[in-house]
Amino acid sequence: MGEKLFIADAMLGKFARWIRLCGFDAFYADSSLTDSEIIGMATESDRIVITRDRKLALRTGESLFIKNDEPDGQLLEFFRKYPPDPSRFFTRCTSCNGILEEMSPPYGDEMVPESVAERRLDIYICSDCHKIYWAGTHRKNIEEKIRILMEMLQNEDH
């Protein structure tokens, strides 16, 4: 069976960004889409609906109803059912869900701040929206948060 694909509703914008950081293919259905449109998109593209709306969850084929209000709790609910693969972390654009590709120097002055280029950090570009990412301190903070969440899941099992 192939990779699971997801569609997160408008109540889960931050959540969608976080699961993208973990390498999950997650379309974000903003508030411009109706529940029926979300269901149609999920059916057409074989995506699992992730929602905080119980009625929407009941109307869809495969879904995950997120009960928790807190971002960390939401991620834990998701990870219990869909454990992340650390080898896929930081492979998707948090903005558009595109695939990140490693860039090679020279980067171009307009693309990467000089301080980043000087530090020779790994630099990635989104294949779709062309947003630039690099492995700076922000990434270390994200990795730490994910590590803590994964430890919490492991402790639940014992």
Instruction: Note the pLDDT of residue 139.
Output: 86
Instruction: Note the pLDDT of residue 28.
Output: 97
Name every residue whose Cβ is closer than 8 Å to that of residue 30 and which is 6 or more positions away in sequence: 10, 13
Instruction: Note the pLDDT of residue 34.
Output: 96
Name every residue whose Cβ is closer than 8 Å to that of residue 104 and which is 6 or more positions away in sequence: none
Q: Which of 66, 88, 110 is the last residue of a domain?
A: 88
In this structure, the answer to whether residues 49 and 13 fall within a common structural domain is yes
In a domain, 94, yes or no: no
In this structure, the answer to whether residues 84 and 117 fall within a common structural domain is no
Give the mean pLDDT of the chain. Answer: 90
Asked if 22 and 84 count as a contact pair (C-beta separation under 8 A), the reply is yes
User: What's the pLDDT tens digit per position in 129-153?
Assistant: 999 898 878 888 999 999 999 999 8
Asked if 139 and 124 count as a contact pair (C-beta separation under 8 A), the reply is no
What is the number of H-type helices and E-type strands within the chain?
Answer: 6, 7
In a domain, 93, yes or no: no
In this structure, the answer to whether residues 53 and 80 fall within a common structural domain is yes
Name every residue whose Cβ is closer than 8 Å to that of residue 54 and which is 6 or more positions away in sequence: 65
In a domain, 35, yes or no: yes
Q: Which of 46, 66, 88 is the last residue of a domain?
A: 88
Tokens representing 74 are: 């939401």
Dihedral in degrees, nearest 10, Cα atoms 29, 26, 153, 151: -120
Asked if 61 and 94 count as a contact pair (C-beta separation under 8 A), the reply is no
Q: Please state, in angstroms and rounded to a whole number, the distance separating the CA atoms of residues 147 and 141.
A: 10
Q: Show the domain range for 153.
A: 100-157
Instruction: Note the pLDDT of residue 4.
Output: 95
Instruction: Note the pLDDT of residue 21.
Output: 95
Asked if 94 and 67 count as a contact pair (C-beta separation under 8 A), the reply is no
Q: Please state, in angstroms and rounded to a whole number, the distance separating the CA atoms of residues 90 and 105.
A: 20
In a domain, 14, yes or no: yes
The CATH number of residue 67's host domain is 3.40.50
Instruction: Note the pLDDT of residue 107.
Output: 65
The list of the chain residues with pLDDT below 70 reads 1, 106-110, 157-158
Q: Work out how many domains the chain is built from and give that number.
A: 2
Instruction: Note the pLDDT of residue 109.
Output: 60
